[in-house]
Amino acid sequence: MTITEWENHSVVLSKSFGGVGLVKHFAVIGDPIAHSLSPLMHNAGYKALNLAADYQKFQVSPEDLQEAVFGLKALGFSGWNVTVPHKETILPFLDELTEEAVRAGAVNTVKVDKGRLIGHNTDGSGFVRSLQEHMELDECKQIVILGAGGAAKGIAMALAPFGAQLCFMNRTPERGAELVEKILEGGGQARQEPWGRGEWLAQADCVIQTTSIGLKKEEYPFSLVGIRPGTLVVDIIFNPWETPFLHSAKAMGCKTVNGIDMLLYQGVNAWEFWLEDKAPLESMRKALYQALAV
Ligand code: ATR
């Protein structure tokens, strides 16, 4: 594109936000951040709707977090996503939290609203939306969650209001017990089963793998023996596209889903929180899937 073409393009784009030269800026901050697919997904969405907006990624180390947050605000960013390791440590620098952020105890989306920093969480609602593409959550009675770390907590807090019994299984039982207590305190249903036992699988409508085992390319220390064919099995990892866990679930006749749509829908929900308008879901999905060459 020549400079003149770019200028004309920018003028057309910026009219979408009510004024020539008005461009909205968004970003994601984390450490590490190099592999984040969020810029690609959001920028594809802006392009599809001809919006005057851009989305960048910034590596921010824990000791620079406060300066980065105030820097983004000073530079006029409209909002940003927050990823590992800042989702909890950013809380003291924000002016307000949404209900979802309070429930999760973590923030993955910040919006600048009349100079105030509003912390929100779309991880849980994004996971729920991705699951609803495959099952009726209201009819689900039993959900098995493997793991009890940060990811499991976000997912469990978002699933609990749908009424299913959440059955946790974690290597360190103390962490599982803490999560069960939290869900029960909030009025949900939860219990924990011992790590390594398979009988409970026969009653599950859905099994969700949230541990970081697949990322570390370690062997999954649990077996799916006993699971009913047709059960929905989810692994929140999407790289590799099909983890050995999902591969064995498929071989047992289960429906399998990886974590890519969880990433997609947390982005879609962040977009809709920032721009208060429907996000171009299919353009964002296409960009993600293309980047992963599927
Ligand atoms: P995240 O935010 O990605 O969930 P986390 O809070 O560190 O990260 O949690 C990682 C989860 O993976 C935990 O449930 C952890 O189990 P422990 O609570 O016992 O640590 C689980 N995990 C990681 N490596 C594991 C392994 N080799 N075997 C079993 N569980 C493992």
pLDDT per residue as tens digits for the range 28-77: 999 999 999 999 999 999 999 999 999 999 999 999 999 999 999 999 99
Q: What DSSP string describes 200-217?
A: GGGG-SEEEE-SSTTTTT
The mean of the pLDDT values for the chain is: 91
Cα gap 206→232, rounded to integer Å: 5
pLDDT per residue as tens digits for the range 252-273: 999 999 999 999 999 999 999 9
Model pTM score: 0.89
- pLDDT over 70 (residue 18): no
Residue 84 phi, psi dihedral angles, 5° rounding: -50, 135
- pLDDT over 90 (residue 139): yes
Determine if ligand 1 sits within 6 Å of the CB of residue 208.
no
When pLDDT is averaged across residues 141-161 and rounded to a whole number, the result is 94
Three-state DSSP class for residue 99: helix
Ligand 1 site-directed mutation target among 86, 178, 211, 243, most atoms within 8 Å of CB: 211
Cα–ligand 1 centroid distance for 152 (angstroms): 9
Structural tokens at position 225: 């023996």
Determine if ligand 1 sits within 6 Å of the CB of residue 212.
yes
Q: Matching CATH topology for 22-120+262-293 and 125-257?
A: yes
pLDDT per residue as tens digits for the range 104-123: 899 999 999 999 999 999 99
Determine if ligand 1 sits within 6 Å of the CB of residue 145.
no
The CATH number assigned to the domain with range 125-257 reads 3.40.50.720
Domain limits of the chain?
22-120+262-293, 125-257
Confidence of residue 194 (pLDDT cuts 50, 70, 90): confident
Confidence of residue 222 (pLDDT cuts 50, 70, 90): confident
- Nearest ligand 1 atom, CA 146: 14
- In percent, the amount of the chain with pLDDT more than 90 equals 80
Long-range contacts, 236-244 (Cβ 8 Å, 24+): 236/127, 236/151, 236/155, 236/208, 236/209, 236/210, 236/262, 237/209, 238/263, 238/292, 239/292, 240/214, 241/292, 241/294, 243/209, 243/214, 244/214, 244/219, 244/220
22-120+262-293 belongs to which homologous superfamily?
A: Leucine Dehydrogenase, chain A, domain 1 (3.40.50.10860)
